[in-house]
Amino acid sequence: MHKTITCMISTMLISFSSFAATKLALNWKAESEFGGFYEALPFYKKQNLDIEIQEGGSGSPTSQMLMNESVDYAIVSAEEVVLSADRDAKRRLVAVFSVFETSPYMIMAHEGFESNKLSDLFQDSKQTISLQKGLPYVEYLLKKFAPIQAKIVPYTGGIGLFQSNQMMAQQGFITSEALLADQLNLKVKTWLVADEGFNPYITVLAVREDFLKKNRASVQKMVEATRQGWLAYLKNPKATNTLMNQKNPAMTMKMLELSLVKMQALMKFEPLALGQMKSERWQQLNKQMRELKLIKKDLKAEEFFQNF
């Protein structure tokens, strides 16, 4: 009886301690693009930060979770930071660290597609392109290549439909879907959306502006520990990859390794430090999203991010 009560109290205490931890919400399951955050867990502890990483899933609304104060740190995209400022300026988000310097958004077609230009893909009436309308980069491409001859269908996730249809192209991440196609021995052509002129920061660590104002020192520690985590992960990812593989078995060790190789090419921040962002990139994104009529307000680039 005593044991049962002790066990129940321990469980409750663990639960309460879990509530006390500061939450970092991911917008997807454990995979390479979050490797540095998992690697940073001991660095957070060294900085006296009690961080609990919460995995996300399909459509995890991490930006709204931040705005709603459900979490204090979350992984979002730069577009979500801009949208948050437009939708509710008082609870807007501030980006404090970016994993990708170059956006990994890409369009992928089968190698049989003859042209090397993405514009030709959108003008080919025989091609079907699977895109998730509403995503800013998709809206950008649809506007850039209008009028479009290819058939546009919704994106359903994964590469199942792409695999079964030689005349199908789709959206994705160069670090994920393109690798998956490679693993299935599919010969593909890929185009980075960044090369087409839309290059937002991706896998961005963000906080609420009011949280940043009140906890500036703590956020700075968080960013520094995160940077240390990423540097350590890039140097030796094996232990963290094993941990992420246990959390998300769909990502095999080989996939995690290959994904990291692809990521490294998109993580060249020099002369800035790893994770730091440029004002002109935010300005450009703000302008593009206004042109796409996704936002109404014209905000200053400096309001979107803070480098540490």
CB 300, min distance to another protein, A: 20
| Cβ partners under 8 Å of residue 219, min gap 6 | 96, 207, 211, 212, 306, 308
Assess contact for 240 and 126: CB atoms under 8 A: no
CA atoms within 13 A on the CB side of 122: 18
Is residue 11 a contact point for another protein (CB under 8 A)? no
Contact with another protein (CB under 8 A): which of 133, 143, 214, 268? 133
**161 lines the binding site for another protein (CB under 8 A):** yes
197 near another protein (CB under 8 A): no
The reply on whether position 80 binds another protein by CB under 8 A is yes
Residue 188's DSSP bridge partners are 110
Q: Which residues contact 304 (CB under 8 A, 6 or more apart)?
A: 78, 81, 82, 85, 94, 95, 282, 286
CB 167, min distance to another protein, A: 12
Of 88 and 257, which has the nearer Cβ to another protein?
Answer: 88
- Residues that contact another protein, how many (by CB under 8 A): 27
Phi, psi of 297 (to 5 degrees): -80, 150
Q: Which stretch binds another protein (CB under 8 A): 9-17, 26-34, 127-135, 248-256?
A: 127-135
Closer CB to another protein, 82 or 260, in the complex: 82
Smallest distance, another protein to C-beta of residue 62, A = 12
3-state secondary structure of 192: strand
Q: Does 112 bind another protein (CB under 8 A)?
A: no
Q: Compute the distance between CA of residue 66 and CA of residue 76 in angstroms, rounded to an integer.
A: 10
Q: Does residue 134 belong to the site contacting another protein (CB under 8 A)?
A: yes
CB atoms under 10 Å from CB of 107, counted, come to 24
Cα(136)–Cα(123) distance, integer angstroms: 20
Q: Pick one of 27, 32, 60, 84: the residue that binds another protein (CB under 8 A).
A: 84
Q: Is position 135 an interface residue for another protein (rule: CB under 8 A)?
A: yes
Tell me the C-alpha to C-alpha distance, in Å, between residue 77 and each of 98, 158, 200, 201, 203: 9, 20, 8, 7, 6
Say whether residue 68 binds another protein (CB under 8 A): yes
Asked whether position 154 contacts another protein by CB under 8 A, the answer is yes
Binding site for another protein (CB under 8 A): 59, 61, 63-64, 67-68, 80, 83-84, 87-88, 90-91, 128, 132-136, 153-154, 156-157, 160-161, 164, 294
